[in-house]
Structure formats: C-alpha cells, structure tokens
Amino acid sequence: LTACLALLLTACGGSHLAGANGVKQGPAPQISLRDQNGELVDLEQQRGRVVVLTFLYTRCRDVCPLMASTLNAVLANLKQSELERVRVVAVSVDPRGDTFAAVRKYAREKHLLPEFHYLVGSKQDLEPVWSEYGILSDPVSLESIDHTGRIIVIDRKGELRAGFPPTVPAATVLADVKKLLA
C-alpha cells in the first residue's frame, strides 16, 4: 500500500505547494517595467524561470524590509544551478518616491542579490499592474503608503502557483520554489 501511494503521489506530482491556497491559480498577468538599473524586465521573457513577485516601496518601515530580506534569503539559499533559474521581482507601490536612484540605494543598503529586480515606473505604468495582482497602494502621507503585503510565486510556465503573507518564513517560500524547479 505504501509503495502504491508513493507511486500515485509521484505520478500526480505530489509536491503540494505550501502557498497553493494563497493565490488564484492561472496565468500571471503581464508585467513589463524597468528595474533599478534601467533594464527592461518583462515577465513573458522570464518563462523557464521561477519568479517570486512582491510589491514594495523604499521608505516603508514595516513589511517591505521584511519581505525584501525574506526574498533575498530565498535567493541566497539556492544552489548556483538553481539560482540561474529563479528571479525575484519587486514592483514599486510608490511611483513618486521610488526613483531609479532610490531603489539602487535601497538595493545596496539591503544587500540585494543581482537576481533581485526592483521595478519602478510612473503611476500610469504601475496602477494596471497593481490592479491585475489585487494590490492596494494608498498614500496616507508624504512618507507613508498603505499597501498590500504579498509574496507570489510564478512557475516556469508563467502560471500563478503560490501566494504568501508578508511574514512567511523564507524556508517556506524556498521549499515551494525548489518544488517548482524540480
């Protein structure tokens, strides 16, 4: 019986993702924005890689540094062969404050790895992305923005596969990423 169950789980892809219930499954909405280095990052061109997506702003003092640290830890704990097939993409929720210079400084200060792409743009560029991913971005003052804290995992085929709250342990995200790389 145990052997049959193991065979059945293997045949059915028995690698349940911890974050599977945290996101509506389906094709990931398109994103095409410039990162901290001015390079165009197009989600379509990331096919073949697992993409871990989040939404941040550089002046955030609560969940953003936590999520950036979590995702940097995910990258840091991948083998080189795995790292080549994973990208972290953070989309700004602060078009006014998150300039190229501000996100480059943030990336330096937080020691973000090169596979961590922090995307910026105008409000007109960013709002459709926020809307497609169900992200709230509500400036409450010049320095503070209420926003949705989420981590989303997209598989190598461009499908939404997992979603997590901002306080998820890096090991949980890492486990799902590794399952999607297998």
Q: What is the reported pTM?
A: 0.89
Average pLDDT for residues 110-114, to the nearest whole number?
94
Residue 136 has a CB neighbour count (10 Å cut-off) of: 13
Give the H or E element holding residue 27: strand 26-27
Quick: pLDDT tens for 132-160. Answer: 999 989 888 777 888 899 999 999 999 99
Structure tokens at 57: 């702003």
Q: 155-165 burial by CB neighbour count: b if 16+ within 10 A, else e?
A: bbebebbbbbe
Quick: pLDDT tens for 11-43. Answer: 444 459 999 999 999 999 999 999 999 999 999
* Structural domains of the chain ordered from first start: 19-181 (3.40.30.10)
**Percent of the chain beyond pLDDT 70?**
91
Residues 6+ apart with CB under 8 A from 47: 156, 157, 158
Would you state the pLDDT for residue 14?
45
